[in-house]
Amino acid sequence: MLRRILLAVPVLVLGAVVVVLLAPGGLGDPEPQVVTDGVSAEAYRDVVGTAGDLPGWLHGLGEYGAVAGVFGLIGLVCWAGWTGWRRRTPVWVGALLVGVATVLAYLVSEALKLVVDQQRPCWALGEVTTWISCPPSGDWSFPSNHSTVVGALAAGLVLLAPRLGLVAVPVAVAVAALRVVAGVHYPHDVVAGLLLGASASIALLLALSPARALSRPGARVPAGLPGDGVPTPGRR
């Protein structure tokens, strides 16, 4: 147990260090952080400028596509947990831990928003046209909550169910990218969110999940995947 906790600590530390390096500042500064220059701001301008020229019917992807991605990943974690519980394998414990890690990472991201106080790019760079309405001033940008949640869910699935992870990782990246394309986050916001969520999920699984819940070559988990001998949706 102690060895596994010691393995989890570097994951948390590495994730925290990268998130701090990506942050624009804000610790102890009462004024909002306004980012108008740098690689992330320029990338944001390029992406949002290009997105503004796309057909209007695509704009709904910025909001509804991201939400669908979040719920899709929640569904995959629930499926992995449910099939693990049916087979009485430790995967269901790992799925619960992924849920706990996701909630904890979300709470940390909310706390970071209050510490960093970074203005949304659609406020800081007022000349841009966004797919969705800019959140009100005071609804801070760093890190992205959507990205934090999908980062935690996808990283957990990679460890618990690698085949589902092949689906989960692209979905998580797509959700994060859509938050930038929609105009409500800088690229560094979503990268920080993905890393925050992923490090929380990986660390908690390494520290507390039963060893057999973490998939490895030749393991019988995750349950419910093609070839595992357990019925999948639509398969009998």
> What pTM value is reported for the model?
0.85
Segments forming the whole domain that contains residue 188: 2-20+60-213
Cβ atoms of 39 and 47 within 8 Å: the answer is no
At 10-32, the pLDDT tens digits run 888 899 999 999 988 766 677 88
The pLDDT of residue 8:
81
Could you tell me the two tokens for 103? 């909630």
The domain total for the chain is: 1
| Token reading at 74 | 């929640």
Task: Report the pLDDT value the prediction gives residue 215, as an integer from 0 to 100.
Answer: 54
Give me the pLDDT at residue 72, please. Answer: 96
Please, where are the H alpha helices in 23-144? 39-51, 66-86, 91-116, 121-124
Identify whether 119 is part of a domain.
yes
Residues of the chain whose pLDDT is less than 50?
216-236
What is the distance between the alpha carbons of residues 187 and 44, in angstroms, rounded to a whole number? 7
| Within-domain flag for 54 | no
Q: What is the pLDDT of residue 110?
A: 95
* Domain annotation covers residue 230: no
Q: What is the rounded distance in angstroms from the CA atom of residue 135 to the CA atom of residue 141?
A: 9
Q: What share of the chain is helix, strand, coil (3-state, %, to 5)?
A: 65, 0, 35
Residue 96 lies in a domain: yes
Of 109, 205, 186, residue with least CA distance to 149: 109
68 falls within a domain: yes
> Is 31 a member of any domain?
no
> For residue 225, is it within any domain?
no
Within 10 A of 27 (CB to CB), how many other CB atoms are there?
9
Q: Contact, 91 vs 233, CB < 8 A?
A: no
- The answer to whether position 26 is within a domain reads no
User: Please, are residues 75 and 93 in contact by the beta-carbon 8 Å criterion?
Assistant: no
Q: Which residues contact 219 (CB under 8 A, 6 or more apart)?
A: 212
